[in-house]
Amino acid sequence: MQIIHPLADMTRWSEDVLFRGETIALVPTMGYFHEGHLSLMRLAGRLADHVVVSLFVNSIQFAPGEDLDQYPRDLENDTRLAANEKVDVLFVPSDSEMYENGGATRVRVEGITAVLCGRQRPSHFEGVTTVVAKLFNITKPHFAVFGEKDFQQLAVIRRMTRDLNWNIDIVGHPIVRESDGLAMSSRNAYLSGEERQSACCLYRAIEQARASFAAGVRDAARLQVEVRDTLLANPDVSIDYIALVDQHSLAEREEADAGTVLALAVRVGTTRLIDNGFLADDTEKSN
């Protein structure tokens, strides 16, 4: 596995691959790898001849007062883990080169970025789409693999890719969970032992909503009340949002159906966690 830092070197490597008629799959990450990240890398290895994993803590997707400085980092361990997978290149650009002179250009997707996490973090998705657009241009992938835990992010990237006519297949990977159901996340490292137990309420709430849906409940307001009660029964939990949304438009639903997604954002102590799931748990997410 190669480790590449300069942007020009990364693009040169990709152009050599393309010249040979071979394919590239990109896995964009902010590092601090766990099994969820490694699963994305394995899927990428099944999709393309070569896998590029980018590792970049993207400063412009963090608002003032968020956890940019505290975000967990461990480049040595990340390098070791990636090297054990089918990864050809670990691309680790610098902030100064990615945003030379501050970077005056931003990529904005409207509409679906204004709901869910976009309400609480109004500048977040502009930072995400800008960095992903840059990574696409630098690495020139045929495929890009993202985790479905960040359900809104995946929808936004798919919309950006369609709107800007990139010939890139955006592939979602199902949420990877701990044995107790907690969705794997780098931010789980912030949780104390007691908070870690409380954090399992997200998955319990999803399972509760699925059980109610299977029993015939379709009223979104009633389902939201049940989810709220499940979440708030746990110490140190506060709710950012509970939403039942269409999987494509992210518009909120009044009546749930099999394609409805329950999207959650809560704070456990000071740590913000997100999770999601289809109400019909055998529903396949589609593009």
- Give, in order, the Cα–Cα distances in Å from 22 to each of 13, 118, 172, 278: 12, 37, 22, 36
| Backbone φ, ψ for residue 89 (5° rounding) | -140, 130
> Residues near 84 by Cβ (< 8 Å), separated by ≥ 6?
none
Residues 119 and 241: their CA atoms lie apart, in Å, by 10
| Bridging pattern class, strands 50-55 and 169-173 | unpaired
SS3 261: strand
User: Residue 281: which of 264, 253, 263, 260 has the closest Cα?
Assistant: 260
Q: What is the CA radius of gyration of the chain?
A: 19
Give me the amino acid identity at 272: R
Containing 232, the helix (H) or strand (E) segment is helix 220-232
Task: Just list the catalytic residues.
Answer: 37
| Backbone φ, ψ for residue 255 (5° rounding) | -120, 125
| Backbone φ, ψ for residue 202 (5° rounding) | -60, -50
Question: Is there a contact between 126 and 117 (Cβ–Cβ < 8 Å)?
Answer: no
| Bridging pattern class, strands 237-246 and 260-268 | antiparallel
